[in-house]
Structure 1
């Protein structure tokens, strides 16, 4: 059984069909990419999978469980984490605090218990802190833990957002243009990190415009054009697919 199964997924905004009858699956342990020109529907697809948008049609199954139309926090608790095309960090909070927020989805302490400073809640908070620090160390940014997250350089903020997603211990990680705005050296490091994330047992689905990165790390690629899937195959086959070439280079 595939970890993620997207079936005939569609989203319509008024008279605009942003995503139309898109179907694909992601096997556990895979790195799969979604590519396509600007406006192809890639980020809309991610928003449908993660509950930020409600599908007009079709379904999304996670490990056989129908998660179609669930709220984002519910889908996160089921085992899907994501990053965003435009970095979303909490201003006025440190790097460590931003990452700890991602970890709290795995906590059991509620608001009242936290207010009462119960011993088991304090112990759990310490475990959350330690797990967040481990994610920062994994990404090589532990020395930034006490700095304000939004004061960091762009590439460092990308790393913080990734650490926060990893702190959730997801089964499936969705990365929306993880190399956007990065230089060639930072992009190479992102590729290394994504490959290492698979070693943690996390499946990865990414949207990315950097074709060198996509071809280097992906097991399979889905290609979208005007909201429709036009190809799905291994990188070598996608590179020689005539319809994909036309989409990117024109007739």
Structure 2
């Protein structure tokens, strides 16, 4: 594989301003195919804004985004999702009144921009069950297949959200604070799950827990006040004086 084809996503001088405030300032990153790439930084670093640009929640003020060598800067969120770039949000985006199985089945229906098809017969929808159960088992929720999502503990709801995300079969999975608000047991379980999910896809994650980052990330990009100040392995960035001053010595998000 040549050097260019090894890059699944690249940003070039990507910027976003809100009025006079520059939230993302000329960010250029290259994400290697098959890697886990973490984005870290203190409060107000612009990490979530960068994610919003990558998934087209916001349009950039300037700069470009390329996915698999294609300029996706002008595309909408649904269009890039159909290309295989899918985001799991920091706030859980599941249907709380539906069961675990129903949530994942809906994600399968919506794969590639297809309709939810609520009008389809129960028999027809049940044909999706085998596939849905495969994704549910992959995140360790097979024992709560028919439980209502709202009744799940917080960590297991987040696992369900990851199941609904991977059910859309993304080539590139973006995780926004996947361990936020979790106790240590759920953090360990979710870390293992992310590692498992990354076995056959690329993952970009914003994460505040440096222990999780150290355990998972192949490459870490450090943002401060909208700019990239360091990039490399955990050992490289954790020993950077700029990072120690701006991030590691302060309260994290």
Normalising by structure 1, we get a TM-score of 0.90
Correspondence list, 1:63-102, <5 A? 63-102=68-107
**Residue 193 of structure 2 corresponds to residue 193 of structure 1:** yes
Out of 184-193 and 204-213, give the one that drifted further: 184-193
Distance (Å, rounded) in 2 between the aligned partners of 1:93 and 1:75: 27
Q: Give the corresponding residue for 2:31.
A: 26
5+ unaligned residues in a row in structure 1: which ranges? none
Q: Could you say if the C-alpha distance between residues 245 and 15 of structure 1 is closer, same or farther in structure 2, counting changes exceeding 3 Å?
A: same
The 3-state SS of whatever aligns with 2:169 is: coil
Instruction: Give CA deviations for 1:124-151 in whole Å, capped at 9, x if unaligned.
Output: x445332221111111112222222123
**Residue 244 of structure 2 corresponds to residue 245 of structure 1:** yes
Correspondence list, 1:145-164, <5 A? 145-164=145-164
Distance (Å, rounded) in 1 between the aligned partners of 2:75 and 2:22: 21
Confirm or deny: 8 A CA contact 1:89 1:150 kept in the other structure: no
Which of 59, 62, 72 is the equivalent residue of 1:54?
Answer: 59
Aligned pair count reads 244
Q: Root-mean-square deviation (CA), in Å?
A: 2.1
Shift of 1:109: 6.5
Distance (Å, rounded) in 1 between the aligned partners of 2:56 and 2:74: 6
Correspondence list, 1:67-216, <5 A? 67-106=72-111, 115=119, 122=124, 125-199=125-199, 201-216=200-215
Distance (Å, rounded) in 2 between the aligned partners of 1:239 and 1:109: 44
Instruction: Give CA deviations for 1:86-122 in whole Å, capped at 9, x if unaligned.
Output: 11222322222222222223369658x87475x9xx3
5+ unaligned residues in a row in structure 2: which ranges? none
Shift of 1:9: 1.0
Shift of 1:25: 1.0
Distance (Å, rounded) in 2 between the aligned partners of 1:76 and 1:197: 17
Q: Give the corresponding residue for 2:233.
A: 234
Shift of 1:236: 0.8
Distance (Å, rounded) in 2 between the aligned partners of 1:28 and 1:214: 18
Which of 13, 16, 40 is the equivalent residue of 2:21?
Answer: 16
The 3-state SS of whatever aligns with 1:192 is: helix
Distance (Å, rounded) in 2 between the aligned partners of 1:58 and 1:81: 21
The 3-state SS of whatever aligns with 2:128 is: helix
Which of 36, 40, 45 is the equivalent residue of 1:40?
Answer: 45
